Amino acid sequence: MFVLGIAGASGSGKSTLAEALLLRCKQAPEFPSAALIPVDAYYRDLAHLTFAERDLINFDHPDAIEFTLMHEHLDQLRRGHPIDLPTYDFSRHTRVEGGQRIDPPELLVIEGLLLAADERLCNELDFLIFVETPLPLCLERRIARDAKVRGRSPDSVKEFWIQRVLPMYEQFGRSAQQRANLTLSGEASIAQMVESVVATLTATLAATRAATPGLK
């Protein structure tokens, strides 16, 4: 199993890239099987807290992620066992019963803002992509997304960005850029980014398979 990480700031385009890449991989003979794991799926289940208490949690801090469970799932996949990827209800900050069954793939894509905040997770990656997008553009995208999905005003999104999102990114997220094997511009079209990644992965996987016979 080859593990690809995709990191970047909130609004950089990393999630869109990861989802488009997965669709592209499923259509390519170079990738017999591929699966996507968002780091956000591992937000801690806060069902034991009141809604008011849940609303005080800093979801841009690594402590909000249950990395231990994520490591357990990665170990299971490497051993050839399927996992049930948690399904998270972001409106209630709780996990939904059940989950998405994921069988061990040849290519596993992991994407998330806090991907680089966990050293063990970083060490699990075979290749890391960083999506570099100007922060003003990231904020514009965040405003548009939150207005559409969460009904928030531009002023409230800007305040939240300044007080919480940006400081957490600078402290825990930006370090992924120094560790990245490949940096892509988040201002490029998704199609251009996907084809760049596919070309790089095809060459990287070919070299890895040649050096490691029987690689899955």
Segment 28-35 mean pLDDT: 79
pLDDT at 212: 67
Residue 216 lies in a domain: no
Q: Give the separation between CA 216 and CA 214, rounded to whole angstroms.
A: 6
pLDDT at 215 over 90: no
pLDDT at 19: 95
Residue 214 lies in a domain: no
Residue 135 lies in a domain: yes
Specify whether the CB–CB gap between 108 and 3 falls below 8 A. yes
**Neighbour tally for 8: CB within 10 Å:** 29
pTM as predicted: 0.90
Which pLDDT tens digit goes with each residue over 124-143? 999 999 999 999 999 999 99
Least confidently predicted of 27-31, 64-68, 120-124, 165-169: 27-31
Instruction: Count structural domains, the chain.
Output: 1
Tokens of 87: 């399904």
Q: Give the separation between CA 97 and CA 182, rounded to whole angstroms.
A: 37
We report the CATH number of the domain holding residue 114 as: 3.40.50.300
Q: Is the dihedral of CA 68, 204, 198, 172 positive or negative?
A: positive
Domain span including residue 69: 2-206
